[in-house]
């Protein structure tokens, strides 16, 4: 089945676009300002950036507003905008070592070098709706500020660099190392991916995949359609310096900071004839998107399975279906006119029924 | 805490400072590469030492030439004025002709950025936790 080109209805289409815009802009509520979206709906903005593959908080806020809160559509807008821009350069290889951490936890060890930093999170709330519209939001903001920043300096401070938790396991030889490729990382935006895909291509593909798709696939493995039972060695959220090279002097400099979430999961694995070791799975994405990074870490480990036995371990299954813009585009295309194909289908069905009735 | 770079300061400072700093950009400055928006492909190294492309970052880039030196800047975000100012300051500093008033403004902006980051660190430090296992666990 395929869609067909049609013409006509231009005025109706224009009105439909205006009706969408009118509905989006609301009837009586105050217009949404971009800084409100960027600051107060930051998790949605982060998700749009990650799935759009472009770190641009202002533009992601704009896309989120234009898409009336639809993260698929907003990520599509952002990725389409990215396609209009020249690629100026490639960064130096950025490490999360010098990350300016705002959150860092480990569920593998109670005590980790550098300490556990809960950071801004709703993990420990009761998920009760705050039905208190009388509270003044400005007053509340000031109260929170007072609680966080007044009083004596917290003990310990935040170190400039946190050692990786997984190094504790690595020192004991408990981590199965992966031979990393010495080649330039694969770039899925410039070359078609062939399977089996190199790990760098898989990581890039998952870094811009749709959060729900990654979660769904990782969850299937965690629940039993697969054998990855992960432990979160480390989850960190923070700002990583974007380092680029000055083409005139050849010296490197920091162009700005990029908010990133990184997750490292470990799972126990025994290879026939080999020593049991932990296998590490890594997830990393733009913004604060912990579910995505954890899911990606689980799937990174799943996709290295020597004998794939379930959908989450099948490279083609995972990577072909996890991109939100592709899957959303395909599902949406069913709304386009399929009149000719459907009439043909209808015709064949009627003829088949005639034959069936004649036989009866 | 790491000292913020010139480009970091200019990518995060207030709009009003950019307007003031634009007044310091020499009029006789050439623009071999006028301010333009684009993307930087961000490449990262993960825990197993694999390098991969995390995604692209929206930036503005400018290359200027002034008194025989070339100033270059890439600033996160798509405001061309910010990369123009950064490249101009880079050139002026190389030519050792950066006005003291300009440096004072920049120094104050760097301090303000550092103060914001220190505040972030303080908020994070206040959430440091030490878990105790329950008896018998």
Q: B126 in a domain, yes or no?
A: no
Which residues in A272-308 are b (16+ Cβ under 10 Å) and which e? eeeeebbbbbbbbbbbbbbbbbbbbbbbbbbbbbeeb
Quick check: ipTM above 0.90? Answer: yes
Q: What is the mean pLDDT of chain A?
A: 91
* Residues A247, B5: C-beta atoms closer than 8 Å: no
Q: Alpha-carbon distance A275 to A82, whole Å?
A: 46
Structural domain including B50 reads 6-118
- At A1 the pLDDT is 55
In tens, the pLDDT along A211-260 reads: 999 999 999 999 988 877 889 999 999 999 999 999 999 999 999 999 99
- Which chain A residues have a beta carbon less than 8 Å from that of B63? 248
Q: B74 in a domain, yes or no?
A: yes
Of A93, A208, A242, the CB nearest to B40: A242
Q: Alpha-carbon distance A140 to A155, whole Å?
A: 26
Residues 6 or more apart in contact with residue A292 via CB below 8 angstroms: A47, A50, A209, A211, A214, A215, A261, A283, A285
* Residues A111, B42: C-beta atoms closer than 8 Å: no
* Residues A88, B38: C-beta atoms closer than 8 Å: yes
Q: B24 in a domain, yes or no?
A: yes
In tens, the pLDDT along A79-122 reads: 999 999 999 999 999 999 899 999 999 999 888 888 999 999 99
- At A214 the pLDDT is 98
Contact call for residues A239 and A99 (beta carbons, < 8 A): yes
Of B5, B41, B127, the CB nearest to A87: B41
Q: B131 in a domain, yes or no?
A: no
In tens, the pLDDT along A177-208 reads: 887 777 899 999 999 999 999 999 999 999 99
Q: Alpha-carbon distance A166 to A168, whole Å?
A: 5
- Which chain B residues have a beta carbon less than 8 Å from that of A96? 44
Identify the bridge partners of residue A54 per DSSP, sorted by sequence position: B56
Q: B113 in a domain, yes or no?
A: yes
Residues 6 or more apart in contact with residue B126 via CB below 8 angstroms: A148, A154
Q: B123 in a domain, yes or no?
A: no
- At B81 the pLDDT is 97
Q: In which residue ranges of chain B is pLDDT below 70?
A: 137
Contact call for residues A259 and A120 (beta carbons, < 8 A): no
pLDDT at A4 > cutoff 80: no
Contact call for residues B44 and B25 (beta carbons, < 8 A): no
Q: How many domains does chain B have?
A: 1
Q: B127 in a domain, yes or no?
A: no
Contact call for residues A186 and A200 (beta carbons, < 8 A): yes
B23/chain A closest Cα distance in angstroms: 22
Contact call for residues A255 and B74 (beta carbons, < 8 A): yes
Q: B95 in a domain, yes or no?
A: yes
Average pLDDT over residues A54-77: 98
In tens, the pLDDT along A302-314 reads: 999 888 889 999 9
């Amino acid at each position: 089945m395929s869609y067909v080109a049609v013409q006509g209805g231009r005025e109706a289409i224009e009105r439909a676009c205006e009706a969408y815009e009118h509905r989006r802009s609301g009837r009586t509520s105050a217009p949404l300002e971009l800084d409100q979206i960027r600051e107060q709906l930051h998790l949605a903005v982060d998700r749009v950036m990650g799935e759009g593959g472009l770190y641009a908080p202002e533009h992601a806020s704009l896309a989120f507003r234009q898409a009336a809160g639809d993260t698929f559509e907003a990520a599509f807008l952002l990725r389409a905008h990215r396609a209009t821009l020249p690629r100026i350069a490639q960064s130096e290889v950025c490490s999360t070592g010098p990350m300016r951490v705002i959150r860092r936890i480990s569920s593998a060890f109670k005590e980790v070098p550098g300490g556990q930093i809960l950071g801004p999170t709703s993990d420990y709330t009761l998920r009760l709706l705050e039905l208190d519209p009388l509270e003044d939001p400005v007053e509340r903001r000031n109260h929170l500020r007072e609680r966080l920043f007044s009083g004596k300096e917290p003990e310990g401070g935040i170190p400039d660099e946190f050692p990786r938790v997984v190094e504790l396991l690595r020192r004991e030889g408990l981590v199965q190392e992966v031979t990393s490729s010495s080649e330039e990382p694969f770039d899925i935006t410039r070359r078609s991916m062939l399977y089996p895909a190199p790990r760098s291509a898989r990581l890039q593909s998952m870094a811009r995949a749709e959060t729900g798709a990654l979660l769904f696939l990782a969850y299937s493995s965690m629940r039993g359609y697969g054998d990855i039972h992960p432990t979160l060695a480390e989850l960190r959220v923070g700002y990583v310096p974007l380092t680029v090279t000055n083409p005139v002097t050849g010296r490197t400099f920091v162009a700005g900071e990029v908010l990133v979430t990184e997750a490292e999961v470990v799972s126990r694995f025994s290879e026939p004839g080999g020593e049991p070791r932990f296998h590490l799975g890594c997830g990393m994405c733009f913004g604060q998107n912990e579910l995505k990074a954890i899911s990606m870490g689980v799937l990174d480990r799943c996709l290295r399975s020597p004998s794939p036995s379930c959908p989450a371990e099948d490279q083609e299954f995972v990577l072909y279906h996890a991109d939100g813009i592709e899957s959303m585009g395909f599902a949406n295309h069913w709304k386009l006119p399929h009149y000719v194909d459907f009439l043909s289908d209808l015709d064949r069905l009627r003829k088949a029924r005639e034959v069936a009735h004649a036989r009866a | 805490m790491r000292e913020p770079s010139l480009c970091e300061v200019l990518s995060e400072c207030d709009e009003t400072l950019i307007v003031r700093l634009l007044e310091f950009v020499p009029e006789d400055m050439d623009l071999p590469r006028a301010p333009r928006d684009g993307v930087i492909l961000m490449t990262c190294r993960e825990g197993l030492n694999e390098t991969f492309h995390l995604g692209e970052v929206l930036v503005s880039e400018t290359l200027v030439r002034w008194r025989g030196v070339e100033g270059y800047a890439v600033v996160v975000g798509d405001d061309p004025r910010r990369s123009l100012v950064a490249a101009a300051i880079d050139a002026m500093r190389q030519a050792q002709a950066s006005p003291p008033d300009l440096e004072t403004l920049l120094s104050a902006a760097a301090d303000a950025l550092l103060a914001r980051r220190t505040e972030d660190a303080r908020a994070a430090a206040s959430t440091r936790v030490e878990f105790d296992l329950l008896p018998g666990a």
